[in-house]
């Protein structure tokens, strides 16, 4: 048996320190900023497939988008590797109200960096977060004046739903949402995002109740029959659903029903807000104010990731108004970062200084008028044109209905499988042949989504509509042939 003697009292036992090898950490094979900038399309594609999303690459190839490398962007245009200017009527799903690289926003960020101001001030109060919250409250109607700052629309909506659910109380835990809604992909709001694609096999919260969108009778029946309903969450204009609106009377009755039954109304304005509809919030068109709302997208001026929840003070205080409850949902690490906040502060000032909300209303109406004229010109192709301001949906007929009469009975059996094909063909050819970028919608795949920057002028509208007109004038058969030929080149 081995006996280990204890050291004498007061004598420190010495042990050898472990050897740390290697003495210097070797640098991995990293790509530098300049090397990233110089990548060609082939290299970008390889890295995208290896490290980002191989499945998404399939759709980018189908549309021809994988051939484009954006070198820079300015105003209404992307500029690709060949110097081609691409007119942006996609607008990053509404994230580019100011177009690309607005000079005032760039200058504010540059000055912030040059002065080496603080970025993450978690331990201290931030003058930039406080000023941004004040500005957002000033832009918000009624008593919407308590602000939570985050980094995305999903985070803002998570905060909005949590606050409303907590304020509603444990006896009223149910949350109502609408068919074809989109409120984000994070785990919490996935329960009120009505898309099987996004829900997949995830287990979502079981306190959500779905109703048809824009059906006030369904809302009233539900509120009357279920006293456990505490919150209703609705996009003021459904984006992923295909740019769907409700009548003005719906929103006024909804406000009255919520007041009558003590239900809190959360308005998701992440995509339709921030001036896109021709008012700062889309719900302002209807002279109503929700209890809680959310912004993101263009709030960051196209240069920063910023989201915000805005709530009535009494609702906020009911949820988080005491020292004991204040930290239940306080800002996360990157909520209220200095440069992000000053970017959003400058962007809000630019929004009003340059009259961009008014421009969205007037130039957006001009765009709608021109598109409605095309609908009359191509009634067998364009089923509907709808929207407000610079949030517009172009819906095509089912594929069989756009074909010559002799082909319709044969193709009609495939209409469901072919949904979205015409939108894809048109989107791909607009980019290839006319240097125009458009977007699509999640649920109604027959819809092309138009969300150009709020700086869009009539000349840009004319360029887009003339290109769209020229493409449709080829006829559906020729469009299909042209698209197929593009895939084999």
| Cβ count near 196 (within 10 Å) | 9
| Residue 320: predicted pLDDT | 97
pLDDT in tens, 400-437: 777 777 666 656 665 677 777 899 999 999 999 999 99
Closest CA to 336 of 140, 123, 163: 123
Predicted pLDDT of residue 2: 52
- For the stretch 45-77, pLDDT in tens is 999 999 999 999 988 888 889 999 999 999 999
DSSP 8-state code for residue 275: T
Q: How many residues are given for the chain? A: 489
121-160 burial code (b ≥16 CB/10 A, e <16): eeeeebebbeebbebbbebbeeebbbbbbbbbbbbbbbbb
pLDDT tier at 318 (50, 70, 90 boundaries)?
Answer: very high
pLDDT (0 to 100) of residue 487 = 74
In this structure, the number of other CB atoms found within 10 A of the CB of residue 412 comes to 15
The pTM assigned to this predicted structure is: 0.92
By CB atoms closer than 10 A (0-12, 13-18, 19+), residue 110 is exposed
Q: What are phi and psi of 78, to 5 degrees?
A: -90, 150
- What does pLDDT average to over the chain? 93
Question: Residue 122 — very low, low, confident or very high, per pLDDT cuts 50/70/90?
Answer: confident
- Is the confidence at residue 399, as pLDDT, over 80? no
Give tens-digit pLDDT for 31-47: 999 999 999 999 999 99
Among 116-125, 236-245, 396-405, where is mean pLDDT lowest? Answer: 396-405
pLDDT of residue 419: 78
pLDDT at 5 over 60: no
CB-hemisphere CA count at 13 Å for 74?
8
pLDDT band at 15; cut points 50, 70, 90:
low
Q: Over range 359-364, report the average pLDDT.
A: 98
Q: Say yes or no to pLDDT of 489 above 70.
A: no
pLDDT at 209 over 60: yes
- The answer to whether the beta carbons of residues 203 and 305 sit under 8 Å apart is no
- The predicted-structure confidence for 185-200, as pLDDT tens digits, reads as follows 999 999 999 988 899 9
Whether 467 shows a pLDDT value over 60: the answer reads: yes
Cβ atoms < 10 Å from Cβ of 16: 5
Closest CA to 231 of 179, 189, 188, 177: 177
Kind and range of the H or E run holding 356: helix 356-377
The better pLDDT of the pair 401, 227 is held by 227
Residue labelled with tokens 């930039």? 128
Lowest mean pLDDT among 8-12, 243-247, 255-259: 8-12
Nearest to 231 by CA among 313, 136, 319: 319
CA 428 to mean position of chain CA atoms: 22
Among 119-123, 159-163, 244-248, 437-441, whose mean pLDDT is lowest? 119-123
Burial class (CB in 10 A: 0-12, 13-18, 19+), 324: exposed
Which among 142, 154, 119 has a CA at the least distance from the CA of 339? 119
Phi, psi of 52 (to 5 degrees): -115, -80
The average pLDDT across 224-242 equals: 97
* pLDDT confidence of residue 228: 98
Closest by CA position to 435, among listed 138, 85, 183: 85
Instruction: Report the pLDDT value the prediction gives residue 18, as an integer from 0 to 100.
Output: 67
């Amino acid at each position: 048996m081995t006996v280990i003697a204890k050291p004498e009292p007061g004598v420190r036992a010495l042990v050898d320190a472990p050897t740390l090898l290697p003495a210097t950490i070797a640098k991995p094979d990293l790509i530098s900023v300049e090397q990233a900038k110089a990548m060609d399309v082939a290299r970008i594609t390889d890295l995208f497939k290896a490290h980002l999303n191989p499945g998404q690459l399939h759709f980018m190839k189908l549309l021809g988008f994988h051939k484009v490398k954006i070198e820079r962007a300015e105003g209404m245009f992307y500029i690709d590797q060949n110097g081609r200017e691409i007119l942006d009527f996609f607008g990053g799903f509404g994230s580019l109200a100011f177009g690309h690289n607005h000079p005032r926003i760039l200058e504010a960020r540059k000055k912030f960096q040059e002065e080496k101001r603080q970025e993450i001030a978690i331990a201290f109060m931030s003058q930039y977060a406080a000023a941004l919250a004040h500005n957002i409250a000033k832009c918000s109607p009624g008593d919407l004046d308590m602000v939570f700052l985050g980094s995305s629309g999903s985070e803002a909506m998570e905060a909005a739903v949590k606050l409303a659910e907590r304020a509603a109380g444990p006896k009223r835990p149910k949350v109502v949402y609408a068919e074809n809604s989109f409120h984000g992909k994070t785990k919490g709001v996935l329960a009120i995002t009505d898309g099987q694609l996004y829900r997949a096999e995830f287990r979502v919260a079981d306190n959500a109740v779905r109703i048809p969108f824009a059906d006030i009778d369904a809302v009233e029946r539900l509120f009357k029959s279920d006293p456990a309903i505490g919150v209703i969450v609705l996009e003021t204009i459904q984006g992923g659903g295909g740019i769907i609106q409700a009548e003005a009377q719906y929103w006024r009755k909804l406000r009255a029903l919520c007041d009558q039954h003590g239900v809190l109304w959360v308005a998701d304005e992440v995509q339709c807000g921030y001036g896109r509809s021709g008012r700062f919030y889309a719900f302002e068109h209807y002279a109503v104010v929700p209890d809680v709302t959310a912004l993101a997208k263009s709030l960051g001026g196209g240069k920063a990731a910023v989201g915000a929840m805005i709530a009535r003070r009494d609702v906020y205080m009911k949820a988080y108004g005491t020292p004991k409850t204040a930290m239940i949902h306080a800002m996360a690490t990157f909520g209220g970062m200095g440069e992000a906040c000053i970017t959003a502060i400058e962007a809000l000032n630019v929004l009003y200084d340059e009259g961009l909300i008014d421009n969205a209303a007037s130039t957006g109406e001009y765009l709608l008028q021109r598109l409605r004229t095309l609908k009359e010109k191509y009634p067998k192709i364009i089923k509907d044109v709808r929207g407000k301001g610079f949030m517009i949906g172009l819906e095509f007929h089912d594929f069989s209905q756009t074909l010559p009469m002799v082909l319709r009975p044969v193709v009609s059996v495939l209409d469901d499988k072919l949904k979205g094909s015409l939108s894809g063909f048109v989107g791909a050819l607009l980019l290839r042949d006319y240097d125009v970028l458009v977007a699509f919608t999640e649920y109604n795949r027959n819809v092309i989504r138009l969300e150009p920057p709020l700086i869009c002028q009539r000349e840009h509208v004319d360029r887009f509509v003339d290109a769209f007109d020229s493409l449709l004038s080829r006829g559906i058969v020729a469009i299909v042939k042209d698209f197929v030929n593009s895939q084999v080149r």
